[in-house]
A = this chain, B = another copy of it.
Amino acid sequence: MTSPVAVPFDVYHEIQEFYARQIHLLGAGDIERWARTFTVDAVFEQNARPDRRFARSAKAVRRGRADIAAAAGGATAQRRDESVVRRYWLGMLTVTAEADGSLRTGYYGALINTLPDAGVDVFLSTHGTDVLVREDDSWQVRHRVIGHDDAPEPAVEATA
């Protein structure tokens, strides 16, 4: 097995910008375009506390773009109903290239909620890893694993 290698700075830049655009689409509630930043067969896993309830009973593991879009759309609609503005921040980004041309990223995420008449709140701190692939002339997420910092770490097998 080949070790991952650091990417050239133009690729790092592309990925940094990719995440900024992806996050703005989610922040703006444009779920249709946001979902197209995932491959059709993408898997989006969240390692959350056992008692975490996702909006509209979405599962912690979402398989395929349609399922991923439905979960995000449900969460977005719920926040709109509750007049909560959520900003997702991604930082501390690392990017390495795999032998097959895919990229593997690592990052921290912080979710900042603004609540009507209740101020601002860091709702959740997370750490994530993505596998990104180049499809249709742009990068897409093929596999995302988000670890919630308030959840126990899973056995490695559980998220592989």
> Which A residues lie at the B interface, using CB under 8 A?
6, 9-10, 12-14, 16-17, 19-21, 23-24, 27, 85, 87-95, 106, 108, 110, 112, 114, 116, 119-125, 127, 149-150
Contacts A122-B112, A127-B27 given; does A12 touch B12 at CB 8 Å:
no
User: How many copies of this chain are found per oligomer?
Assistant: 3
Q: Which of B90, B94, B112, B150 contacts A114 (CB 8 A)?
A: B150
Pick the 6 closest A-B CB pairs, nearest first.
A9-B13, A114-B149, A85-B149, A120-B122, A20-B92, A20-B94
Closest B residue by C-beta to A116: B150
Interface centre among A14, A27, A88, A120 (most CB of B within 10 A): A120
Point out the residues of chain B lying under 8 angstroms from A92, CB to CB: 19-20, 23-24, 87-90
Interface centre among A6, A14, A92, A93 (most CB of B within 10 A): A92
Point out the residues of chain B lying under 8 angstroms from A91, CB to CB: 89-91
Closest B residue by C-beta to A21: B94
Point out the residues of chain B lying under 8 angstroms from A23, CB to CB: 92
